Amino acid sequence: MANANETEINIKGLCVNFPDKDNGGDIQALKDVNLAIKEGSFVSLLGPSGCGKTTLLRSIADLQDISSGIISVKGKTPKETRLSQQYGIVFQSPVLYEWRTVRRNICMPMEVIGLPKEERTRRVDEVLELVGLTEFGRKYPHQLSGGMQQRVGIARALALDPEILLMDEPFSALDEFTKEKLQIDLLSIWQKTKKTILFVTHNIQESVFLSDDVVVLSPHPGRVSAVVNIGLKRPRDLAIRETAEFAALVSKVRHSFEGIYE
């Protein structure tokens, strides 16, 4: 199982530049990012729009070319890690195939890598139970609520049992009640599966509530301005949000942003 002291993802001097269409130069999306993410930890990438948090996630996922620097996932490059299907990705929208049932949506990654049918059925049952959708396997996406669709997205990301779960603002489109329920459920899934989770969000409370570490990113250029360790006890419940400790951490995170609140 996961060794809490081992580094899973190591990032050194990462820079990502985008070509600037207006004046021909480059826009620095990420500048000199250094980061170490421990195996089995829950880490949030927090920041306002334009701070490069999604770019950072996409760079780790090998969905984005980097300009310079090194990303190492247990000694492997992001590309090697992607090709060995060690990333499970959850997007902001559920990105489900509307012509497939819930079960077949979750099956899709397993079909792609060619798992035998019995194995697929077994895994689908397993992850459906994990996200609490056992009753809904035969439904089509349009027959589910937004929160349930996002659960299917999480189940699909877990289908291949990847090392790392990359989540790009997965709850930002949901209403407050659904969001809280999914946060609690995500923590319980994380505790059961021992995945390393990278969670992009622009919500300070959400990042403090979920994470072991909150990586605070500031914009123009996108850079890491602080890494705040969240020492709150586990397992956490919603009541923890009303404690003074929680409020202090939220305020500490808020004050770590550079050049935003001046």
Classify 48 as helix, strand or coil.
coil
Q: For the CB of residue 75, give the shortest distance to other proteins in the complex, in Å.
A: 19
Binding mask 153-182 for other proteins (x = CB under 8 A): -------x----------------------
Q: For residue 212, what are the contacts with CB-CB under 8 A and spacing of at least 6? A: 38, 41, 42, 43, 229, 230
Q: Is residue 119 part of the contact set for other proteins (CB under 8 A)?
A: no
> Do the bridges between strand 196-201 and strand 164-168 make them parallel or antiparallel, or are there none, so unpaired?
parallel
CB 43 within 8 A of CB 7: no
Q: Is residue 18 part of the contact set for other proteins (CB under 8 A)?
A: no
Q: Is residue 134 part of the contact set for other proteins (CB under 8 A)?
A: no
Rounded distance between C-alpha atoms, residue 37 and residue 74, angstroms: 10
User: Which part of the chain contacts other proteins (CB under 8 A), choosing from 7-15, 95-103, 184-192, 237-245?
Assistant: 95-103
Q: Is residue 226 part of the contact set for other proteins (CB under 8 A)?
A: no
Q: Is residue 98 part of the contact set for other proteins (CB under 8 A)?
A: yes
User: Which part of the chain contacts other proteins (CB under 8 A), choosing from 20-28, 137-145, 200-208, 218-226?
Assistant: 137-145
Q: Is residue 227 part of the contact set for other proteins (CB under 8 A)?
A: no
Q: For the CB of residue 229, give the shortest distance to other proteins in the complex, in Å.
A: 29
Q: For the CB of residue 99, give the shortest distance to other proteins in the complex, in Å.
A: 5
Tally of CA atoms within 13 A in the half-sphere of 84 that contains its CB: 11
Q: Is residue 142 part of the contact set for other proteins (CB under 8 A)?
A: yes
**Tokens linked to 194:** 């021992």
Report CA-CA distances (Å) from 67 to 14, 115, 154. Answer: 8, 36, 30
Rounded distance between C-alpha atoms, residue 68 and residue 14, angstroms: 6
Contact positions toward other proteins, by CB under 8 A?
Answer: 61-63, 82-85, 87-89, 91, 93, 95, 97-100, 108-109, 111-113, 139-143, 160
